[in-house]
Amino acid sequence: MLRNAPKFYEVAKRIVEITEDCILVAHNSEFDYRILKTEFKRLGFEFKRKTLCTVELSQKLIPDMESYSLGKLARALGIPVSDRHRANGDAMATIKLFKLLLSKDTDKSIVKNAIKVEKKSKIKANLKEILEELPNATGVYYIHDAKGTILYIGKSNNIKKRITQHFTNTNSKSRKIQTLVASVTYEKTGSELVALLKESEEIKKNKPILNRALRRNLYTHGLYHFEDKNGYINLSIEKANKENLPVTTFTNRQSAKHFMLKIMDDYMLCQKLIGMYHTNTNCFRHEVKECNGACVLEESSADYNKRVLMLIDKHSYKNKNMLVIDRGRDIEEKSVVLIENGVFRGLGFFDLNYQINNPDILQTLITPMENNRDTQHIIQSYIRRNKRLKIVEF
């Protein structure tokens, strides 16, 4: 259903137009409103509207119901619902429910009182002073207490915006930060990749008390490969382990599954041989002519493996010498991450190409950093997500 649907930015303007001077009504409006705000935030637009929640209204106007889910409420109240759990069907059911609630709210007091207006967060004067000194730039930030001790280290594509969130959020970590913070220092990186690598290393070195206990790994799953008895290279997603080195790693199983579905199309891989279709015969894609038949030995292992090895070579930097070039701290500058023989050596910044083309100069530019599985995951996942990244092999 979503394959041919428009992207959010394509409909964003229309959403602004049709909701202007309106109150958003939804069943569990807090959820829907949060999703809208998040999507607009990604576009750099602050979306603010009043909201009404038909769950809360129902609880007040129709008490003692067994359940206040939309489906069960509709059944109990005799509201016809078509296309349940589809946008149009749920919206029409919500309209009918809302009309019923409006008719029950004879004095209109509950509806008026139920309209939620987003509260403006108040920031203390000392926190405002800290914010004034911060840039709207990508980098790593350090939150200090009065003694200069680092309480928390983070990275952001917009340092000022992220610190503002720390100063206005109400979760336990943010409240501790608001109570203890005396100053915030930062280091611009320009590149999100550089910020991620620096953040990872700095947290390991400094172990700030307000950072979550650092997970041993930033990833949970890995892409592994093995050769079956017929000579075909099989791929599988497994929980990451220290014994076997994965081709690439993933933050969770869902992102790994999404990756597998993509490479299946991009490299014409067999569903069965990548562990996405469990069968003793042919895979489903073979039936619809989208698999060349490696699952039933119709395609030679040599031809099939050639494509699998291309995939492995692209997503693994094992034994490779390469430079990952990304944004710098200003327009004229670039950042560079150095990998030698598959090992992450460190990172630096340069202004002119000859600086990275000359091995001696390159070495002087690079700040050495620790190579570990976390840095490997950070680099591989960043390369996977950023198709326009410049990679120079040498």
Judge if 287 and 354 occupy the same domain.
Answer: no
Query: Two tokens at 303?
Result: 């031809």
Domain contains 283: yes
Judge if 96 and 22 occupy the same domain.
Answer: yes
Judge if 335 and 304 occupy the same domain.
Answer: no
Judge if 62 and 94 occupy the same domain.
Answer: yes
Domain contains 211: no
Quickly count: other Cβ atoms within 10 Å of residue 237's Cβ: 20
Contacts by residues 360-366 (CB-CB < 8 Å, ≥ 24 positions apart): 362/336, 362/338, 365/336, 366/336, 366/338
Judge if 284 and 341 occupy the same domain.
Answer: no
- CATH value at residue 14: 3.30.420.10
Sign of CA dihedral 91, 93, 94, 99: positive
Q: Which of 13-17, 71-75, 210-214, 250-254 has the lowest mean pLDDT?
A: 210-214
Per-residue confidence band for 160, with pLDDT thresholds at 50, 70 and 90: very high
pLDDT recorded at residue 170: 85
Helix axes 8-19, 29-42, angle to 10 degrees: 120
Judge if 19 and 110 occupy the same domain.
Answer: yes
What CA–CA distances, in Å, run from 247 to 88, 225, 344, 376, 392? 43, 8, 15, 10, 20
Give the domain range for residue 67: 8-114
Judge if 107 and 14 occupy the same domain.
Answer: yes
Domain contains 228: yes
Domain contains 172: yes
Judge if 130 and 58 occupy the same domain.
Answer: no
Number of domain units in the chain: 4
Judge if 29 and 77 occupy the same domain.
Answer: yes
pLDDT recorded at residue 159: 96
Query: Residue 205 CA to chain centroid, in angstroms?
Result: 25
The pTM of the full predicted model, rounded to 2 decimals, is 0.65
Angstrom distance (rounded) from CA 342 to CA 155 = 25
Query: Two tokens at 307?
Result: 């494509």
Give pLDDT tens digits for 313-365: 989 888 899 999 999 999 989 999 999 999 999 999 999 988 899 988 998 89
Domain contains 1: no
Domain boundary among 177, 206, 235: 206
